[in-house]
Amino acid sequence: MSYDKENIFAKIIRGEIPCDKIYEDDYALSFEDIRPQAPSHALIIPKGEYTDVNDFSANASNEEIVGFNRAIAIVADKLGISEQSGGNGYRLIANAGKDSHQEVPHLHFHLLAGRPLGPMVLAEKIKLK
């Protein structure tokens, strides 16, 4: 999938659309999800133009990858949800591709916290081979 420069998160990075900013550095931007799924629901996106984890992993520089990954923990500490910052922990989710229900085609991690989050995915009967 080629990168769509008009996706909503590209517009947020360019400042064309506002966001409730949590954190920003050279590599990452974090802001509140507009439709929170938990008491704390932050999004963390790289500044570079990457569609998903695979694109980022294959094409980002080591500096970008390290910077982005460090930003995730910085945000978790800043929000006070990491155990290291006195919180009860969090769940980190990155959707990629149609089965995952990825809506916005710019890599983003969801950082969810603030209540017991239950099972990782909706329980559904899965046919085991």
Residues that bind ligand 5GP (CB under 6 A): 8, 17, 19, 31-35, 95, 101-104
Q: What's the closest the beta carbon of residue 106 comes to ligand 5GP, in angstroms?
A: 9
Closest CA to 71 of 40, 108, 104: 108
**CB-nearer residue toward ligand 5GP: 60 or 107:** 107
65 phi/psi in degrees, rounded to 5: -65, -45
How far is the CA of 95 from the CAs of 5, 18, 26, 84, 104, in angstroms? 19, 23, 23, 26, 9
Q: What's the closest the beta carbon of residue 19 comes to ligand 5GP, in angstroms?
A: 5
- The set of catalytic residues is 108
**CB-nearer residue toward ligand 5GP: 17 or 73:** 17
State how far the Cα of 31 lies from the Cα of 96, in Å rounded to an integer: 20
Q: What's the closest the beta carbon of residue 118 comes to ligand 5GP, in angstroms?
A: 17
